[in-house]
Structures are given as C-alpha cells and as structure tokens.
Structure 1
Amino acid sequence: MKISTYNVENLFDLKKNGYEYKEYIPYTNSGWNDKAYKAKLKNLSRVIKDIDADIIALQEIESLQALKDLQFQLKRDGLYYQYIKIADAKDTVIKVALLSKIPFVYAKDLVVGYSYAFRDILEVKFKINNENLYLFVNHWKSKAGPESMRIAYAKALKKRVQELGKNKNIIALGDFNSHYEEYKTFKRKRKLNDTDGITGINHILGTINYQQNASNTTHTKENEFYNLWYDTQEEKRYSYIYRGKKEALDNILISASLLDEKGLDYKQNSITSFVKPYLYKGKYIYRWQMSKGKIRKHKAKGYSDHLAVVAEFTTNTN
C-alpha cells in the first residue's frame, strides 16, 4: 500500500468567492483563467498519476470543486480515485484534502483554532484487513509565523491521538512547515523561536526521541511519532528547495504500532521524495510559473514548489 503527501501549490477553482489570493482571482489581469486552470490540473494529474499512490494527502486545495476537477482530470488520464474528502468546515483560503482508492470509514475536520489563521487538520479512518488506520492530513502555519503557531497544530493533533487511545495505527502527514530536526534549525531565527526552543514536530509529537533507522525504533513511546525521514540517507531528506538549500518541510510521521512487524506495518527503506527530471528546472524544483512585475501573470507552466513524499506499507496479516 503506497501512501503519499503532496503540497500542490495553490490549486484554486475558477469561482470567485472573495477569499482568493490576489493573483488567483479568476478572469483578471493575472491570467487565472480556463487555460491556466486546465494546465494546472493537467500538470498535477501527471505527477499524481506517476506516483500512483493508494492514498494521497493534498495541501493547498481551495475548494471541493477544485478537488473534484482534479479527480476528474485524473480519471481522464487513467487513474481513478473513487473516494475524496476536503477539510472545508472552515472557509480558509486553502485547505487540506485526500484522494483515495480505498474506502474510508469516516472523514472529519479536526479543529486547531477558531481563528482563520489556523487551517483544520483532516482526520480519516480506514479499515484495512480488519485493522483500523487513522490518517491525519496537516498543513501547519508557514515560517511567516512563529513556532507557537505550529505548536498549536501539534497540540491539537496530540490531544486527538490521546483520545483515540493506545496502540493505534496512526499516520500524520503533510506540509508541517517544519524540518525533521526543527529544534536545531530554528534556534538561530529569533522571529520563529518564541517558545524557548520547544518545537511542535520534535517536542510535542515526540519525534526528537527517535533519530535512527526504523529497524531500531520498536521502543517508540505511546503518543509519540517516528519521522520516516530517518529511514533514508540524509542527502535524500528533502521536499523543497529554498534559495538553493534543500529543506524537508513535508513529513510522514507514524505511530509505534506501524513498526511492530505485526499486520499493518511500514515497509522499511521505502520513504522517498518523488523525484522525476520533469519536476526540475536546472537545480530548482519546477514550480508553477508566474511572471515578475507589478502584475504577476500565470504562464500556465510548471507544477508545484514542493515535491511529493511517498512511503509504502505492508498489509500482511502473517
């Protein structure tokens, strides 16, 4: 079973609702129109079809309509995701969503904060080979905000995990806007470190305690997560490139029961960023292209500023 997460970089529909980013207001001088929208859908479909995950978590989807249009484009291109869901209980500008070949038991929004500064987390429960799997799709606050905002997401997630109880199969994935060792990287940045060195991804979710290969992490504690980035070579741990520097903003975190070699389990050494030549332009990720200038215009070329991250899981009951 292949599970992936992909920040698709601003998939907006062509309906004006008043919340759009300026350059995504449809049918204005920025050129967000039928041509640009169709190109964006077609390009994202190419990537998602090449990944061919059983379940793919998405970030930066504006609406259910945009998600349905992507689903339809994928179907036209030969990959059908029958089951879809978007966290749209709160009308934030962009939202998290899910495409799945596997039916889910339920899907619901997990509220992080009532302010529109916080996007909801999407909680989805699956039943696979008579085992429950809980998947949480995240898109935490960007580095435009301090660490305390990302800690709010981590605390909401941890609280829900504690409510679910012990020994559950849990995957938390998405764009955490956090390095797998954020506690090291953000200390030098005063505007980010407003928490006395405490981070959401490392301290609240407990990933700081398990910085080794997956084969050595069976002692992961209750309500703490293992970050799958530790299960591949350090030079491969990235999904984003900022000013020439590779960063790991997108993460897949798993609970201890997915490492116990019983039933549903993580397939060791399977974590990877999804790298294809067409997703690069020189040394940089071939993001969605816009012109520079006073009015930024869509060129109807490119993909996303993030790479997808993919991991595999076995569903053997032996």
Structure 2
Amino acid sequence: MIFSFFKKKKGKNIFTVGFYNLENLFDTNDDPNTLDDDFTPTGFKKWSMKRYKRKLYKLAKTISEIGDESTKNPPVILGIAEVENEKVIEDLISAEPLRDIDYGYVHYDSPDERGIDTALIYQKSNFEVLYSEPITLMIFEKDGRRDTTRDILYVKGKLNNEEVHVFVNHWPSRRDGQDETSSKRVKAAETIKEYMAKIDATVESPNYIVMGDFNDGPDSESIKSLMECDHLYNPMEKLLSPERGSANYKQTWMLFDQIMVSHNLLNYEKGTHSFAHANIFDEAFLTEFKGKFKGTPYRTYAGRKYIGGYSDHFPVYIQLKYNG
C-alpha cells in the first residue's frame, strides 16, 4: 500500500527523499580506534574485498531504484546509517549504478564504539548544503558511564531552492532490552525537539524532514514524544501491518525506519514542495526468496553466516511534489 495525498503521476516535479540502513557498511581495513575487527579479512566474518565490492554494488543498485517508478530518478536526498567512514560513502556513490549521478555527501565521525555513523547523500543539482553539524546525543548508563552512541546529523539546505532542515538519526538499539533502553531513545527525541526550538526562534515556518532508524515504531514512547512538538506529521504509521514493515525480527514486522515531515509540507503553495506519498521500498529482489524467512530482508549476514544479500532493513521513502 502506498499512502498518498496526490494522484501519483510520472513527471519531473516529483522528488524522492529516502532513508536506508545499510547494515554494517565497513571497509576491509582495521581501524585501531573502533571495534571493527569482525569486518576485516582475518575477522570472524571474513570480510574480504570481494564481499565488500559485492555489497557496494547491491546497495548502489537498490538506491538507484528507490522511487524511480514515478520519477525516473534516484533519490535527491538519502539518509544512510551504519557507514564506517567517508571512504565507504565515496565507494558507494562511485559504484557503477550510481557513478553517473552527481552525488555529494555530508558525514561526520561519531563516537559510536563500533565506528558506525549516519550520513546524507544528495544530488548536487537539486540540493545545496547551507550548514551542517553533528548533534551529540548525551545519554548515560545507570552506573553513570556515557553511552557513546551515534550523533544525530543535522543538515540545513535548499531543496530546489526551498529551505529545509534535515535530521538523520540512528537511535540507540534495543540490544539490552526494549524497556531497559527506552529512555535513551526518548532522550534522542527530546534532543531533536530542543534543537527544533532553536530553529523556531529564528526561522518562520521551517520545513523539517526527520528520518532514520529509530529502533522504535510509530506507537512507541519515543516517537510519540517526538510528535508532541506539533511540528511533525508521520506518514509512515499508515504503512505498518502484520504483513509488512522495514525490518523483521522473529517473524514479526517492525517499522523502525521512518521519515516525518513538518505540517507545512502538507500544504500547496507555488514555489514550495508538498508531501505526495510514503512507501517502503520492499521490492522482491531485496527479499529472501525461499525458506521460513521468505519475503523478509535479504541481509548480508545471518549471525556469523555470510549469505551475500543487501541489508537487514528495507529502505523507506517519501516523495515530494514541487509546486512550480
């Protein structure tokens, strides 16, 4: 199901904005400052240059097709998560399916102990970066130690000459339990709201796009907290069902990957963008094709076992109509 405000039609006035968790896009080099040893040729996952290049090609192919059914054009903006460094982003946008697209990117190294970061790639012909910074997420364990998780990436830019404020997120995981870690994700929501309040003080009716792997679904405490600011509309909550989501855990679909937009992107005004529709990019080629996991994301690894897929998440995207 595609959730749509406008009748979908092909044309150059429709633009795709997406998000994709790339599932551990590491290079093959050992970084002594991070816990990346598993993703080296001698690590237990035997992460070789051949496997790395295969993954780059598959991810680039996927990105090139997100939303292209209606636009004939890959995303103008794409947030990405689980990238190790600038090199892997450069290798990704240089891979064959994307190398003819004039993509730029925004990336900062985060304090995550595994060395995985968020980033934003964008088509230079449609998006101009005006300002960017990493927003530090200060969260702590019960014993007072800081949990060095991913920063929130903030990018202020012009999309087809309209100013937008983009936040790319990869919130703390549920590895230690959903309830035990919930407060960390609530803190992430509060951090974004605080930053928005600063923008609101100087910008009239700012256009917000908040995207990411939130490690929480639309009905969770953290996402509800984020929506309390009254700025945002979440079209993704209409997409989750028992048969569909962006990731699957123990045969249960989840929609941790989401994109929210500010309410003024729902309005029609000449020279601006309007929200058109939202969807999960879960094409058949991205799924397991047989067995008990049939239809779920075709991932690169299942535990220690290399299976050579794409990612353990499907991309999600929205499309904006430019009102020329």
Question: Which one of the candidate residues 155, 167, 179 is aligned to 2:217?
Answer: 179
Aligned mates of 1:21, 1:304 — CA distance in 2 = 18
Question: Which one of the candidate residues 116, 128, 143 is aligned to 1:103?
Answer: 128
Q: Deviations over 1:196-245 (max 9, x none)?
A: xxx22102432xxxxxxxxxxxxxxx653211114557567621111111
Determine whether 1:88 maps to 2:109: yes
Alignment of 1:231-250 (within 5 A): 231-232=238-239, 234=241, 238-250=245-257
| Aligned match of 1:265 | 273
Determine whether 1:14 maps to 2:28: yes
Aligned mates of 1:204, 1:173 — CA distance in 2 = 12
Aligned mates of 1:275, 1:9 — CA distance in 2 = 15
Aligned mates of 1:201, 1:307 — CA distance in 2 = 19
CA 1:289–1:126 in 2, change beyond 3 Å: closer, same or farther? same
Q: Deviations over 1:236-289 (max 9, x none)?
A: 762111111111010111112212223433433x20000211111123211113
Question: Which one of the candidate residues 292, 296, 313 is aligned to 1:284?
Answer: 296
Aligned mates of 1:12, 1:233 — CA distance in 2 = 30
| Aligned match of 1:169 | 207
| Aligned match of 2:4 | none
TM norm structure 2: 0.79
| Aligned match of 1:137 | 168
Aligned mates of 2:253, 2:79 — CA distance in 1 = 22
Q: Which secondary structure state, in structure 2, belongs to the residue aligned with residue 275 of structure 1?
A: coil
Q: Does the aligned pair in 2 maintain the 1:239–1:250 contact within 8 Å?
A: yes
| Aligned match of 2:70 | none
Query: How many percent identity over aligned positions?
Result: 28
Q: Does the aligned pair in 2 maintain the 1:83–1:103 contact within 8 Å?
A: no
Amino acid at match of 1:39: R
Amino acid at match of 2:52: Y
Aligned mates of 2:237, 2:45 — CA distance in 1 = 41
Q: What's the offset of the Cα at 1:29? A: 4.7
Amino acid at match of 1:181: D
Amino acid at match of 2:119: A
Aligned mates of 1:7, 1:304 — CA distance in 2 = 7
Q: Does the aligned pair in 2 maintain the 1:229–1:252 contact within 8 Å?
A: yes
| Aligned match of 1:196 | none
Aligned CA-pair RMSD: 2.2
Question: Which one of the candidate residues 183, 187, 201 is aligned to 1:152?
Answer: 187
Q: What's the offset of the Cα at 1:308? A: 0.2
Aligned mates of 1:5, 1:228 — CA distance in 2 = 14
Q: Deviations over 1:108-133 (max 9, x none)?
A: 11111274532101111111354210
Gaps of 5+ in 1: 183-198, 207-221
Aligned mates of 2:232, 2:301 — CA distance in 1 = 36
Alignment of 1:39-54 (within 5 A): 39-51=54-66, 52-54=74-76
CA 1:307–1:233 in 2, change beyond 3 Å: closer, same or farther? closer
| Aligned match of 2:49 | 34
Aligned mates of 1:289, 1:265 — CA distance in 2 = 39
